[in-house]
Amino acid sequence: MRYNHRNHAGNAGDVWKHFILAEVAEYLLAKEKNLVYIESHVGYPEYALEKPGEWQNGISNCWKRLDVLKEFSYFGILNNMNPSGLMNYPGSAVLVLKATEKVGFGLKADVWDINPEVAASWHDIALPGADKFRFHLGDGFSGVRSLMDSSDPALLLIDPPYLEKRDLERAVDLLKRGACSRWTVLWWQMADVDAIPKKYCNVKMYSANFSDFGMSCDKWRGAAMILSGSDDLRDHVNQRAKNFLRIMRCPEPI
Ligand SMILES: C[S@@+](CC[C@H](N)C(=O)[O-])C[C@H]1O[C@@H](n2cnc3c(N)ncnc32)[C@H](O)[C@@H]1O
């Protein structure tokens, strides 16, 4: 069975994942000016949002609050990409590219996906800045591991589809290795995680119930993003996530 993220782009899980990813990228860019970005399971560069779609119970629900939300990096980027209404959605890697462009800094990225159709979309992409990406067709877990010894400290996103049982243990292994190499690591899950290796690294889990912020996603109740990074970064993201959830929980202004 092959996973296709096209069916899920912009759903409630993506909103939580991409909100935190953009916050982390923005924070690191303010410190470093240039970003090295690595992603083990990248998916397509961009998605067209078509009806019906999971995004209608996800990002669509935020659109009504855009005036308040667009101060957050993720929503600001989406707003710029969609001047005539919500139609286009960035994959995680393009979101990071847009975050670097917003502040005018550099990006060097290595990204993996195992699906040849995804590879073709990266090959054919006509997006300014696409030359910043090196796309690798193959297994992202072993690909990222092979890079860890030679690359500068990077921001790593681990976002497997969990179609294989061992995805979970391989993700934990990559999280540990990244943290030991002093990388900033984000790891996404559609449910709470009990396998976080707190013993090995500075880790914080940001979890959210979709119903708490007016969203839903098939059978899933919520999602969690796990971050291994500096104390300051973890505190910063904590505060920003709280602010976002507070806005989404408030009734809409009349
Ligand atoms: C959840 S999607 C990625 C979504 C993307 N990170 C985003 O947020 O926009 C997971 C992707 O992993 C790919 N995949 C599955 N097994 C893989 C593996 N072993 N190595 C690399 N990619 C894999 C799938 O083809 C799919 O595109």
Q: According to the model, what pLDDT value does residue 193 have?
A: 58
64: confidence class by pLDDT, cuts 50, 70, 90: confident
Structural domains in the chain?
A: 5-249 (3.40.50.150)
pLDDT value of position 154: 96
Closest CA to 233 of 20, 22, 24, 17: 24
- Residue-wise pLDDT for 90-147, tens only, equals 999 999 999 999 999 999 999 999 999 999 999 999 999 999 999 999 999 999 999 9
Whether residue 178 is predicted with pLDDT greater than 60 in this model: the reply is yes
pLDDT tens for 10-57 read 999 999 999 999 999 999 999 988 999 999 999 999 999 999 999 999
Between the CA of 229 and the centroid of ligand 1 the distance, in Å, is 23
User: Is pLDDT above 60 for 76?
Assistant: yes
Atom of ligand 1 nearest to the CA of 112: 21
Q: What is the pTM of this model?
A: 0.96
Distance 247 CA to ligand 1 centre (A): 31
* % the chain with pLDDT above 70: 94
Q: Which of 138-147, 190-199, 235-244 has the least mean pLDDT?
A: 190-199
Pocket of ligand 1 (CB under 6 A): 3, 5, 17, 40-43, 91-92, 112-115, 118, 139-141, 159-161
Band of residue 196 on the pLDDT scale cut at 50, 70, 90: low
pLDDT for residue 199 is more than 70: no
Residue 63: the pLDDT is 93
Residue 88 in this model has a pLDDT that exceeds 60: yes
pLDDT of residue 230 exceeding 90 = yes
**Nearest atom, ligand 1, residue 39 CA:** 6
Q: Are 178 and 58 in contact (CB under 8 A)?
A: no
Q: Which atom of ligand 1 is nearest to the CA of 95?
A: 9
Q: What percent of the chain has pLDDT over 90?
A: 75
Residue 218's pLDDT is what? 87
Please state whether the peptide bond connecting residue 52 to the residue before it is cis, i.e. omega within 30 degrees of 0. yes
Q: For position 33, what pLDDT does the model report?
A: 82
pLDDT at 253 exceeding the cut of 70? no
